[in-house]
Copies of this chain bind each other. A is one copy, B any other.
């Protein structure tokens, strides 16, 4: 089985100033024990400390920003967004994204495979503390649901995120988040589907129960039911859309 892109040239190419800066910065981050959310030194400080120009520091930080490792806020500072080590492996992946029904369905197919697997691993590996944390997110989501009589995007995502992270595999979060963004980029206002996501509500608790009982197969089943409701919503939205365009033609 072959490497898709030549993997052998990359390491040779490792010269250039910003690479050195990035390595030094990675060492600093690990050395200072900085964690996600913490603030990095200012660009001016880094520039002076590394004996390079601020431009070079900025170029290096831009690269980290593009990889999602860091977030910059004008007037505030640069903040760590993910754990950073010197020997990280980066693989940028560009995906074609369409706004047609099929493309949206494709993102759900990926999520179906990954969310089910993540649920399995989560149920297998969750500690008591993990389960308590997930339950906390679940309860919060349920509260907001009853307040507004509808799904809340943020709280719902927090719950799923807790599940993904408990799986112990950071790739789940990264890939599913991308699928998620792809989906919502063209589905911000679900056409004709007022209660989008509503049907998925009960399966959050059943999923949690399966995880809490360390039942991988059960967790898998509930995760699949959950994603199936989203697929249904999408299909309904697509049907509505067709109906509307048909009407407008008449």
Contact = CB atoms under 8 A, between A and B. Distances in A.
24 contacts: A2-B157, A4-B178, A4-B180, A5-B68, A5-B177, A7-B188, A82-B94, A85-B97, A88-B96, A89-B94, A89-B185, A91-B95, A91-B178, A93-B93, A93-B174, A95-B171, A106-B169, A109-B171, A110-B171, A110-B172, A112-B117, A113-B113, A113-B116, A113-B117
B106 A178 contact: no
Interface stretch (A40-48, A56-64, A238-246): A56-64
Contacts of A160: 1
A140 B241 CA distance: 46
- With a 10 A CB-CB cut-off, give which of A2, A5, A106 has the most chain B CB atoms: A2
B110 A181 contact: no
A55 B62 CA distance: 12
A121 interface: yes
Contacts of A177: 4-5
Contact of A109 (B5, B87, B103, B121): B121
A114 to B, nearest CB: 5
